[in-house]
Structures are given as C-alpha cells and as structure tokens.
Structure 1
C-alpha cells in the first residue's frame, strides 16, 4: 500500500493570511455576543495565536484550554441552552483553532470552519453592519483560499515557495465569481413569489429576543434595563408627545403572591374598559423588533387595536401571532380624561387583594394613613408620593430582598429602581384600601434627528403604578419619576445611546449612532420588511398597482433568464481569457479547420503535428516547432512564475498568433 504524502508545510506569510482571514470571519460574531464573552474569546484567540506561532502547543495544554474556555463561556452564559450559547461556543472553539494550524491542509480547514462565523452572526442579527462585515470576511476568506491553492500548485520540492498572484488580481477573480451569481440572487430575492411562511432562510424565532414578561419578580427587569438594543422605533404624523408623557404601555400586573406580580389570564377575555379621551391625539407608526411573545406596546392609551391584533381589558395589545420577526403597526393614542370611572366589584376586589402573612409594617403604616385621611383616597396617594420623593434614592445596585420584601424596602433599604418603587407603592396603596395595579412597559425615548423618528431601547424598560380614584378612574402614578426624573425623562447628557460604549464617549458616538440607526431602519424597511404584500406593490412607482401571482412569476422567469444568460456569457468569457497561451493555442487549432486539419480535443500536440505533416509537408516544420514549444511550456517548465518564464510565454503567444497556415498554392 502506497504511503501518504506528507502535508505541505505552511510558510509564515500564508499562515498570517489564514489567521487574519479567520479573525475577520470571527469579528461580526463577536460584535453580537455579550461583551464579557466576546472579550474572553478574543483575548484567548490572541494569546493562543501568539503562543503557538513558532511551535505547536502540547496536546495536554490544548485540552486544558478547551475545558477552561468552554467552562468560562458556559458560566458567563449562565448555563443557558440555546442559540446564543451555541454561537458563543462556536466562537470559543474557533479561538483555539490557531493552535493546530501548521500545514496547507490545516489552513484550509481553519478557513472552512471560520466561514461558519458570518453565518452564525445572521442567527443573532440581520442588520446592515453584520451583512457588510460578513461579506467582507467571506471575500477575504475566499481570496485566502485562492492564495493557498496557488501556493500549493506552485510548490516545487526542494525549491523556495513561489509568490502567489497579486492581491488585486485575486480580488478581481473573486469579484467576477460574485458578479456571476449576484443577478440571479437579486432576482430570486425581489421577484420569486413569496409565501406567508418562508420555506428557507433563518427561522423567525432564531432572531427573536425576550420581550416584556407577563410577570415581575425581583431582579427580572434589571436584565432588560442593562440591554441597550433597540426594541421599537416610532414616527409621529404630526406633533409628538413630550418625553415626560412617553409611557409605552405593556403588560398590566394584578396578582401578587408576596414576591412576584403576574397578569391574570382571565382578564384577556373581558372587553376593553371604557375611557374618555382628551383633546390630544397622537398618530404614529411603530416598528417593533422581533420578540418571543405576542404582546407589544403602545402609548398610553391606544384608541383601538390595529389590524391583526386585539385589545385586552386593561389596554394591553396582543398580536394574532408571536412577534418573531420585524412588525409594523399604525396606531392612535390619547391620554385619558377618565379611565374606567366605574369599577365593578369583582375588579375592585382584584385590585385590593394582598397575600396574608406578608409585610406587617407596611400594613400598619397604611392603616395609620387611612385613619388620618378618612375617606380621601387622593390624600393617601399624595402622601405616599411625597414620602418616596423625600426619603428614597434611585440605584440599580440592590441586594436581594427577603420574605417581607416591601417592609425591608420601605423601612430599611430605601433605595432601588422602578421594580421596587412600583411594587411597594401598589402594596402600600392596596393596604390603605386604594385599588392599585402595576403596569410594565417602556418610558421615554431617544429622538434621532437624522431619521426624524424616536427609538426606544430595552434599557428603557420601566414599571409604574395605576391607582383608581373616584370620578377619575385609573390614574398613572410613577414613584420612580418622583425620585429620579432623569431616569424617565431622557436627556442627551445622561441617556445618549452608545455613551461609554465600544466606540467612545458621547460626543464621538452620538452622530455615528444616529446615522447607523437610520441606516438600520432603512435596512429594516427595504430588506427585512420585504414581505408578500410589499412584493405585490413592488412596481407601483411604475404605474403597476399590484403584481398578482402569474405576472410576478412571469417577471421572475424573465429576469432569471437574463441572469442565467449573463452567467453563461461571463463564465465562458472568463474561461477563454484565463491563460493567454491556451487561448492562442486553441485559436491556432481553429485556423487549421479550413484545411480540414483541426486538432481533435483528445489529440496531443505532437501527434497532431505529425498528422498535419503527413497531409501538408510544407507546414510540418513550423507546426512541429510550435507544438514542441507548447509542450515545453505546458508540461516541462520546472520553475513556473520566473521572470524568464514569463518572457518565454509572451514570445510563445506572439509566435502562435503569427502562424497562419494557407491552402496549397495560396500566397502566404
């Protein structure tokens, strides 16, 4: 049995190219991972690349690195099993790959593995930045693979490695390959008839993020408040409300078990409560990013449910299907003048219910306030708001509270964030006999002057309270705003997106963020939001109101045929132009066609020359010389790529082009 040939060693220049190509593929994925995981993976990749540059790492060291890195990633991901953790582990494994990259075969394996990086990025984000970085990384990887193939083909045993073709030439070659397939890809994207549910592509749920929950437990809201990603964008038709009135209403929580607030399911079957609108009406479009549930938010209060959604009793909006992809909604809202002025006994009991055996000090304080205020509920509410404003502080650094959480917060800790303030306020109101409930959603927003719209981030997650007062109905009370209004009313100095982030401080990041998010919104509108209904209206600017199925299919067939013809023409043209010597040699064979002596495709050069010599002895000598020169060039050159070899190639091309056989008796 023949022995396997040893793998070709990887010279330093080629290894540098391979590692840089791999790093470019990893970059877009790292930008989508949590900051701590991305930093650990990037640092590990740099350290492993430096330590293994001169000599391979021992197998035991590599094993320990794998265990340590995988364990660190799992700990930072809190041992969650899913898409995000899987992508983080993929990045971690790739960071260790340079420790075993020493041959051409290893380099090809590294780049092939690295190409999973851009693909995994699209599971986390499909924005224009991810696409741009992914395309650039894939192009870099393809150029590197081409260089490795050329180095492998030019390698001569016992000789120094020959240089690969110039980078500009390789980029042009890759660009031609992309240009061959791009028209057909665009035709398929824009014109292939779309169905309601996609048959291929990234699953919708893969892109969804956790949304607002129908429960609020200690510490749950803090995860949203630490996430700066955008959750919705709003464009107002006409005047926009002041930031202090931007309360984006989400789940309303009624039930309290001493620790967790939940939303009663049976409320969803009730008709929406009546409310009297004010003279102010806000008309706006919402662009909601993908979440993992059906509920979305609206300004307090929505006048009606838009198409494909329904309105709950307490004015929560629910889509017909889970919002696992980008969605758009047209809404109108108005601040209520009176919100459910008559409260039914069943609902009143639900808004006063408290679990037994919890928070005795809070119950005693509420009873005292009730005795002092008599039947004046508004006085109790006002007294509580004054207490929060005077005695409490805002902070995200809070210890976990015990069994009597409201007692500990009101009488000992006296510092927290909206989750603590709204929960303790509602418990205090219920204990004093004032119907109250917790409302969760988002507060405030950031105005993007480049795009002329407002954006709300997940970090704007907020919880406030509503109390029921006679004659007015439900009234919003926000103890957080009484304590830390800057947390509610966004300002450029305190709440600018990107402040202190990866790209620097406020002054440097604000214009960059504005332009970047405006581009992202355009990308959402132009690409991610391109669905079947948008496809039907594709030619409306050209006077075609609606593209039905047959016309859309005919248009797709037309453009796909044109794209196919383009592919065939460009491919065949590229094949003719690849090697000037082969091009001149094939042209020479065609010149002999009119003599009936064209070379057969299977016929060697010298055999063809001998066949021609028998039929036309006058052409034998020049054709033998040309055939021998061609054979030497094609098969006998031991050092292709030298300057002398290039000169010989040019001379051979000129000679082949100059030889023109004639018929017997024809003048030359």
Structure 2
C-alpha cells in the first residue's frame, strides 16, 4: 500500500520554517570563525532563495556539500574536534532548505534545526547563546503548531493565542527542567568523551615567539574576573603571573619542563595579603594566573618551581578559584647550579652587539648587578618607544630591536632585556601573564581582558632573589605611539567607545551574574543549596533518589493537566467549568446532573445576577443547540465573570 503524500507547504508555513531554522542556526554561527560563519550564512540564504520554486537538482546539492566541506577544511584543517563537528552541522542545516517542499520536509528541518542550539552549548554556555536557543525553541514550537493546523486544514491561530498555547507547554516542562538543574548530581567528567576543540580559545601559552601575541592582545574579551575580599592591590602590583620562560633558542622562549615537577622555592613574604577570587574564562589549556606571588595552590591546581599555577584539568569551562597572594620580601635559598645555568643559558653565535654591550657594562659596573639593571632601564627610558608596528625579527632579533628599531611592545622588551642581562652574567627569565585590570562599578569587581596580556622579566639579585623588572613600563609616556587602545578607537570609535562604556560594564556585570548563577553551579553549590532545608550532605545516589521522586511527581502533575485538557478540548466548556468553581467557593456548586440553565436559576434566586443568567443561556445555545453564537465574546465574558455581591445563602 502506497504511503500517503504529505501536503505541500504553503508560502506562509515555508517562511515560518525558514525563520525558525535561521534562529536555530544563529547561536551556532556566533561560535564559529567569522569568515566560515559568513560563508555558511550566505550559502543558507542563497539555497533558500534558489529552492523557493522547486527542489534543487541532486547534482547541484552534492556540489554545494563538497564546497561546504572545502570551506570547513580551509578554515579548520583536517583535525576533528568540537568546532569541526559543529561547523559540519551548521553547513548541513544551511543546505537543508534545498529539499523543503512538504509538511514532512518542514518538520524534518525543524527537528534538525533544534540540534544547532544544543551544539552551540558545547562551545559556549553564555546568556546570549541561551537566549538565542530559547528563542529558537519557542519559534519552532509556534511553527510546529502552524504546521499541525495546516495539516488539519484549519485556519492558522492568531499569534496571541498561539503564544498562550506555547507558554502552557513551557510551563508544563519548566519544573522538570529546574529539578534536573538543581537536583541531578553534578559530575566531575561528562558522560561522553568530546574531542578537543579544533580552534582553541586564545589563552596564555607555554612558549613565546615573535608575533605570537598580536592575536591574543587584539582580543578585548574578558580573560578573567576578580573579586577582592579586603585590600585591593595598587596598579603597579596588579601583575597576574602565568607561565615563566627560561629556555631560549635565539627566537623562541619556552618553559623548563623540569620546573613543572619541582617544588616552588621558599620565600619570605611581606606583611601585605590579598584575598581574592578569580572566575577564569575557558581557554582549553591548563595554565592559570595569580597575583604575584600566590601563597599556595588551590584545590585542583599545582604550583611549579617558578611559582606558576597550573590546573590539573583542561580549562574547557568557566572555573572559579579562591586564592591568596603576597609580595615577596626575599627568596630564602640561593639558586642551584642547574637553575643558575638555566637562567644564564643563551644560544651560541646570536646577537653579538648585545653581548658586546653587556660585557662593557659589566666591566664598568664591576659586581654591582643592580647598577646594570638600573642602567638598562635608563637606556630604555631615554631612547625606546612603544608601538605595535614592528617587523618580524631576523636571526639576531635582539640586536635589531636594541640598536636599530628601538621600538616594540612587551614581547620585544622583555625578551631583549633578559638576553641583555644574561650576557652581563645576571640570571634572568621571562614571565608572562596579564597586567592591570579595570574595575566594574556595578559589581565592584575587576575585569582583566585578553588584550591585557603582558610579558615582563625577573632578575636574580644577591640577598633578594628573583626581582620583577618591567622594561616596557620604563618607556617614557611621550614615546608611546601605537597601542591597542589607539587601534580600537580609530575611525571615530573613540566617541562610540566612550559613549557605550557604561553599557559595556553593565553587560559584563550581567554576564558575571549569569556565570555565578548558572555556570558555576557545581557540586559544592548544590550541597549548599540543600543546607537551609536541614540537609547537610547528600550522596549522588541520594540526590538521584530525590530527583526521581520530584520528577515523578512533576510528570504526574503534567499527565493530570494533559488528561484534563483531553477531557475538555472545548475552550468554552473549560471556561464554563472554571466559572462554576468560582461559585463553588461560595457554597453554590453545581450538582453533577444539574443542567446549566437550572443551576443558573438557583444561583440567581440566592444571589441575584442577571449576567449569570445571560451567560448560561448563551453557553447552552453554543454548546448544545448549535446556534450561531459569537464564541470569542462568549469565551471572553465567561473568563471575566465574577460572582455578584448579592446576599449569601
């Protein structure tokens, strides 16, 4: 027996279906590389327009699929990952409209489109993604409702009526969703393995080489948010310590692998203490930062031999860390022979002019290491400039920077300074991280952006140990030419940026609230939520039991409401019964076998109310006599009617 043909899609239903699919695709496109997202969006528009009259030929559809695969490979390479899988999903959804002809096709496309917002949550769980996903889901429900009416050859409902119907569906499922969020045990690992992202989120790396930092420093997205409890460090103390680089091959700085497994050196801290909490944005890496220097590593992290914090797990989601830091008064132990050798290591045959200058300074300063450090900073202050417009260095990049260009940014200053110090026989190393931060007045917290990424130096001085030296900060203010802030303000953007600064801070405050309320709701927060109920701690099995009981109760309530709706499909009958319950509260309930008109007469005798008599007459005519009654006005009047203030029985 042949399967019945699905009805053809009307233009209105087609438009609703395409709009719903576009809304489902939007949050996913926002998480993909910009150029690839633009290509997918353009292909989706062209495909929908081309397939408006007829289904595209199979050969053309195959060609479009191959083109999309080529675009994904061009932007992401061949390495599989979350980004690649999500891009493939977005590309297939963009081409789905090429076969959109019938109601069955529309339902298939809507079901496919709803996968896109869920895929976007693998890449971002922010409020924007959530808002777009909710909008896409609601629009899809409205579209499915219209498709159901079209299949039954019934007129499409008005938008207000359709929204009320969808709202009821959402209200039915919301308690179960909240129960799952609050009560289902929080797991330390996902239920399934997800490959690493093909396109990593910018973050601090364990190496530094020329030109590498421009992409990170050009990103003004938040890297971390900091809440201080008590004293706030001054601007010159807000150095957020990250990876420490000691190995140098003439071009590239790298961490010492042995330092990761070595305990941090003993130090004497000053009396100043900073107590703070960091909300660290995901980076798909393990490197953390802390104010210079952290007193100890929080749970889930470790301190290496250079006092650099590292997470034991990849930072694939928003994480929260409670820390304490204090400035260093002095290091208690001397450098070991291995550490001294490493901090003086230089590749042979590189940067001869820098080596000659360092030898000259050493002969003039004698054994006074601090004098050499001060002399180098005076030289930078007198001769050097800060700019982002720097060419890539050649073989002797430090010589080129110190003697030819004498202009660059923190990557150049820190690297050249450490090479100069090592040539002078002073142990030195490069420290990377962030510097500064902007206070958000709405939430009284500090935002450190990715563009605040910074590199500075540490030198080993007798009787003091490692001392922080920031050669970039020594540049005279009048020779700071080209900064990231300048680039962001080009083309009249300065006025716009100033005008919307407060709006941006308010938006970030809302984002932080979302992070605190939703994304950081972990197992500890779950247990804290139950303590006001007298429950100190529940094991995962107990939480599952509580969730199961609540879920069964919720499902029972949903089933009762749905069955009630099945018994009373007629909205006029439901409104009449609701009116009867209002009178039942006054002791005037209708008997089960009592006709509507007789009940209204009985109520009228005890509480005179001509409006009730009129309503009962109109209800009987509409419900049982099949008379031509204005159902819209009858339904409105039934819902609005309230018992009169007549005498009680």
Q: TM-score, normalised by structure 1?
A: 0.78
2:638 maps to what in 1?
Answer: none
Aligned to 2:421: 429
2:478 & 2:81 partners in 1: Cα distance?
36
CA 1:37–1:460: 2 relative to 1, 3 Å: farther
Please tell me whether the aligned partners of residues 460 and 466 of structure 2 are also in contact (alpha carbons under 8 angstroms). yes
Q: CA distance change for structure 1 residues 391 and 59 in 2, over 3 Å: closer, same or farther?
A: farther
Does the C-alpha gap of structure 1 residues 277 and 501 become closer, same or farther in structure 2, counting only changes over 3 Å?
A: farther
Mapped contact 2:82–2:194 kept (Cα < 8 A):
no
Q: Distance in 1 between matches of 2:362 and 2:518?
A: 58
- Partner SS, residue 332 of structure 1: strand
Give structure 1 regions of 4+ aligned residues with deviation exceeding 6 angstroms.
200-208, 484-488, 495-504, 580-584, 648-651
2: CA distance between counterparts of 1:532 and 1:344? 43
Aligned residue in 1 for 2:439: 447
* Structure 2 residue 399 is the aligned partner of structure 1 residue 407: yes
Q: Quote the residue 1:22 is aligned against.
A: 21
How far apart are the structure 2 equivalents of 1:501 and 1:567? 56
Q: Which residue of 1 aligns with 2:31?
A: 32
1:536 is aligned, of 511, 519, 527, to 527
Offset from partner CA, 1:175-222 (integer Å, 9 cap, x none): 222222221222232123444445479899899846422222333333
Please say if 1:526 is aligned against 2:517.
yes
Shift of 1:459: 2.4
Cα pair distance change 1:76/1:133, threshold 3 Å = same
1:60 to 1:407, Cα distance in 2 relative to 1, 3 A: farther
Does residue 88 (structure 1) correspond to residue 79 (structure 2)? The answer is no
* Distance of 1:220 and 1:150 partners within structure 2: 58
RMSD of aligned C-alpha atoms? 3.9
Q: 1:199 to 1:82 in 2, by over 3 A?
A: closer
Measure the CA separation in 2 of the matches of 1:225 and 1:343: 33
* Residues 429, 458 of structure 2: 8 Å contact kept: yes
2:130 paired residue number:
131
How far 1:118 moved relative to its partner?
0.5
Aligned pairs (5 A) from 1:612-651 = 647=628
Q: For the Cα contact (< 8 Å) 1:292–1:322, is it kept in 2?
A: yes
1:241-320 counterparts in 2 under 5 A? 241-320=233-312
Q: What is the alpha-carbon distance in structure 2 between the residues aligned to residue 204 and residue 528 of structure 1? A: 20
- Cα distance in 2 between the residues matched to 1:383 and 1:178: 70
- Structure 2 vs 1, CA of residues 236 and 496 (structure 1 numbering), >3 Å: closer, same or farther? farther
Greater mean alpha carbon deviation, residues 193-202 or residues 559-568? 193-202
Secondary structure of 2:320's aligned partner: strand
- Following superposition, the deviation at residue 581 of structure 1 comes to 10
Match of 2:45 in 1: 46
Mapped partners of 2:56, 2:114: distance in 1: 24
More deviation, 93-102/561-570: 93-102
CA distance in 2, matches of 1:533, 1:338: 37
Q: In the TM superposition, what whole-angstrom CA distance separates every residue of 1:401-436 from its partner, at most 9, and x where no partner exists? A: 333332333334444332222112211211121111
Contact 2:82 2:196 survives alignment (8 Å): no
Is residue 76 from structure 1 mapped to residue 67 from structure 2 by the alignment?
no
Deviation at 1:238, TM superposition (A): 1.4
Corresponding residue number in structure 2 for 1:512: 503
Task: Give the distance between the partners of 2:39 and 2:454, measured in 1 at CA.
Answer: 31
The number of aligned residues is 587
Please name the residue that 2:181 is paired with: 189
C-alpha distance in structure 1 between counterparts of 2:4 and 2:548, whole Å: 49
Q: Residue 207 of structure 1 contacts residue 290 of structure 1 at CA under 8 Å; is this kept in 2?
A: no
Deviation readout 1:523-550 (Å, 9 max, x if unpaired): 2222222222222221334555444668
Is the 8 Å Cα contact of residues 497 and 510 (structure 1) preserved in structure 2? no
Per mean C-alpha deviation after superposition, the further-off stretch among 189-198 and 518-527 is 189-198
Structure 1 contact 362–406 (Cα < 8 Å) conserved? yes
Q: Is the 8 A contact 1:208 1:324 kept in 2?
A: no
User: Which whole-Å deviations, capped at 9, do the CAs of 1:142-189 have from their partners, x for residues lacking one?
Assistant: 2112212221221xxxxxxx6312222222222222222221222232
Match of 1:590 in 2: none
Distance, in Å, in 2 between the alignment partners of 1:57 and 1:414 is: 61
CA offsets 1:276-332 (integer angstroms, 9 cap, x no match)? 322322111122233434331110111222334332221112334443433322222
How far is the alpha carbon of 1:468 from its aligned partner?
Answer: 1.4
Over 3 Å counting, the alpha-carbon distance change for 1:254 and 1:97 in structure 2 is same
Q: Counterpart in 2 of 1:600?
A: none
Q: Which SS does the other structure have where 1:235 is aligned?
A: strand
| Counterpart in the other structure of 2:373 | 381
Structure 1 range deviating more: 121-130 or 51-60: 51-60
Aligned-pair CA distance for 1:122 = 0.0
Contact 2:76 2:198 (C-alpha < 8 Å) held by counterparts: no
Question: 1:135: how far off?
Answer: 1.0
Superposed counterparts of 1:319-358, under 5 Å: 319-339=311-331, 342-358=334-350
* SS of corresponding position for 2:323: strand
Partner of 1:482: 474
Which residue in 2 is equivalent to 1:569? 560
CA distance in 2, matches of 1:426, 1:331: 29
Structure 1: gaps spanning 5 or more residues: 155-161, 585-592, 595-628, 634-644, 655-668
Unpaired runs of at least 5, structure 2: 576-591, 594-622, 636-649
Q: CA deviation at 1:571?
A: 1.3
Q: After the TM superposition, which of the residue ranges 426-435 and 102-111 deviates more from structure 2?
A: 102-111
**How big is each residue's C-alpha offset from its partner over 1:367-425, in whole Å with a ceiling of 9 and x where there is no partner?**
23323333332232223223334444434444433333323333344443322221122
Equivalence for 2:100: 101
Q: 1:560 to 1:83 in 2, by over 3 A?
A: closer
Q: Pick the aligned partner of 2:550 from 543, 559, 569.
A: 559
Q: CA deviation at 1:551?
A: 6.4
CA deviations over 1:549-593 (Å, ceiling 9, x no partner): 686556435433431231122111221232469999xxxxxxxx9
Task: State how far apart, in whole Å, the 2-side matches of 1:41 and 1:501 are.
Answer: 31
Mapping of residues 646-657 of structure 1, within 5 Å = 647=628
In the alignment, the residues of structure 2 paired with residue 460 and residue 438 of structure 1 have an alpha-carbon distance, to the nearest angstrom, of 16
Q: TM-score, normalised by structure 2?
A: 0.80
